[in-house]
A = this chain, B = another copy of it.
Amino acid sequence: MKHEVLSQLKEFLSEEQISTNETIRNHHSKDESYHTPVFPEVVLFPRSSREISHILKLANEKRIPVTPFGLGSGLEGHVVPVQGGFSIDFSEMDDILEIREQDLLVRVQPGVTRSMLDKALKKHGFFFPVDPGADATIGGMTATNASGTTSVKYGVMKDQIRNLEVVTPDGEIIHTGSLAQKSSSGYNLNDLYTGSEGTLGCITEITLKVYGIPEHITAARATFKEMTEAVNAVTSIVQTGVPVARMEIVDESSIRQVNDWMETDYEVNPTLFLEFHGNEAGLNQDVAFAKEILSDHGCTSVTFEKDTRGRMKLWEGRHNLAYTYTHAYPGRSMMVTDVCVPISSLAEAIVFGREELDRQGLPGGLVGHAGDGNYHAFVMIDKIDENEMHKAEQFNEAIVEHALARGGTCTGEHGVGIGKKKYLEAEHGASLSIMKSIKKALDPNNIMNPGKFIDIG
């Protein structure tokens, strides 16, 4: 980085907000994925939209690449500054700015994490439902249109966004929505910036819907002999419209990981983790109906957890699955796949995924947000072993191709980043050029997170 740029940065940032320290740069070179790290030249720690506006104006003028960084919990290399330049770290913008109790809205800065938000909301009897597993930042979750275990009931990130403040590449500070529950006023910018992975600007404030903590919650663990039986139970529950709040599928090998990690003695078989939210009478009727459906599909045993501790323990296993694999395979990296298919194709997609993983001889397991038709394979790879990397890539390609052929998507919730870029043409066809036109129009100098998502020019 030229000395001139550093001194220009100092005109609006203090010394401690600008770092060229190697450890700091290393921390901002990677996420939790297998993608190759690249160091940024400088890491910046802005404290306001105004400061970010100055940074982007400078970057735009000097054509310096800018990569926004939340916590680095992403899985497709979104935060890897592949072309160097600035990494913008939002950790000093982590205030919960306003809780509008009557409107069930909260306004936060992008560096607020999911757990920080939940803690603050709890005091008001609220919770924020989107739960991607990792304790990600709200900014990062917005940028990737994250979702997770509860999306089958509450929807994904874009369903919660009421308004965003965004700094555009030319330093303009805009807002993309309003406080109204719905609107038909102009193009939908909320949903354009949500999921845009830092390629159109920096998200600097997020106004989100929150929900009252459910009156009653019941969790359940249901075991099946065959994976297809478990998936068919899921599709039946979705089709009959029983309002489940969570419906996760976990394969045998992943149950084994849970047992090792949590010292549980769960039956090592394909398993569904479920949760129901509602009023007492309605919930009991839902649970009874779901139990019938599960048993119709060959469920061999089902355990219900009503008290908080029991439910926490059950979900702890599911939430820590990625970590259990990482710990079980020291020295290996994790590739997490992320296809999502129409629910009618989920059973064959998961069977195909398991077969392909075995065929390639790769260690790993399958879990899925089954109610949404979204499943992940945790594939444990040795990045030094070219042959193994190749196999993992082939596996990912095979399941993406399988999903796209059934009208699915290459990424249900992790985003494009580096890893899914090559599939966009197959998935979107001619509409990829529409996306490129939008990127060109809104970031003509391609300074925002360049080299990922889509290429222009």
Contacts and interface: CB of A to CB of B under 8 A. Distances in A.
Interface stretch (A259-267, A304-312, A340-348): A340-348
Contact of A409 (B180, B281, B407, B427): B180
Contacts of A453: 186
Interface stretch (A31-39, A188-196, A389-397): A188-196
The 5 A-B residue pairs with the shortest CB-CB distance, nearest first, are A282-B282, A179-B407, A191-B191, A441-B441, A102-B344
A13 to B, nearest CB: 23
Interface in A68-99: none
A357 to B, nearest CB: 21
Residue of A181, A279, A284 most packed against chain B (CB within 10 A): A181
Contacts of A409: 178, 180, 182-185
A172 B344 contact: no
A298 interface: no
A50 to B, nearest CB: 14
Contacts of A156: 182
Given A102-B239, A188-B195, A279-B289, A372 B181 contact: yes
A414 B174 contact: no
A182 B279 contact: no
Contacts of A343: 102-104, 181
A337 to B, nearest CB: 13
A416 interface: yes
26 contacts: A101-B239, A103-B343, A104-B343, A146-B184, A159-B159, A168-B434, A173-B430, A174-B431, A180-B342, A180-B374, A180-B407, A182-B372, A183-B409, A185-B409, A185-B411, A185-B415, A185-B416, A185-B423, A185-B424, A186-B427, A186-B432, A186-B454, A189-B431, A192-B192, A278-B282, A279-B282
Contacts of A269: none
Interface string A400-438: 000100111111111110001001100111111111011
A340 B285 CA distance: 36
B241 A211 contact: yes
Given A281-B285, A435-B187, A235 B180 contact: no
Contacts of A412: 180-184
A280 interface: yes
Contacts of A430: 172-174
A286 interface: yes
Nearest to A430: B174
Interface residues of A, number: 96
A245 to B, nearest CB: 13
Contacts of A434: 168, 174, 189, 442
A440 interface: yes
A404 to B, nearest CB: 8
A175 interface: yes
Nearest to A279: B285
B175 A429 contact: yes
A285 to B, nearest CB: 4
Given A174-B434, A241-B211, A434-B168, A185 B279 contact: no
B195 A416 contact: no
A303 interface: no
A54 interface: no
B182 A187 contact: no
A71 to B, nearest CB: 17
A189 B424 CA distance: 13
Interface in A343-375: 343-344, 372-374
A196 B185 contact: no
Nearest to A284: B281
B151 A182 contact: yes
Contacts of A313: none
A320 interface: no
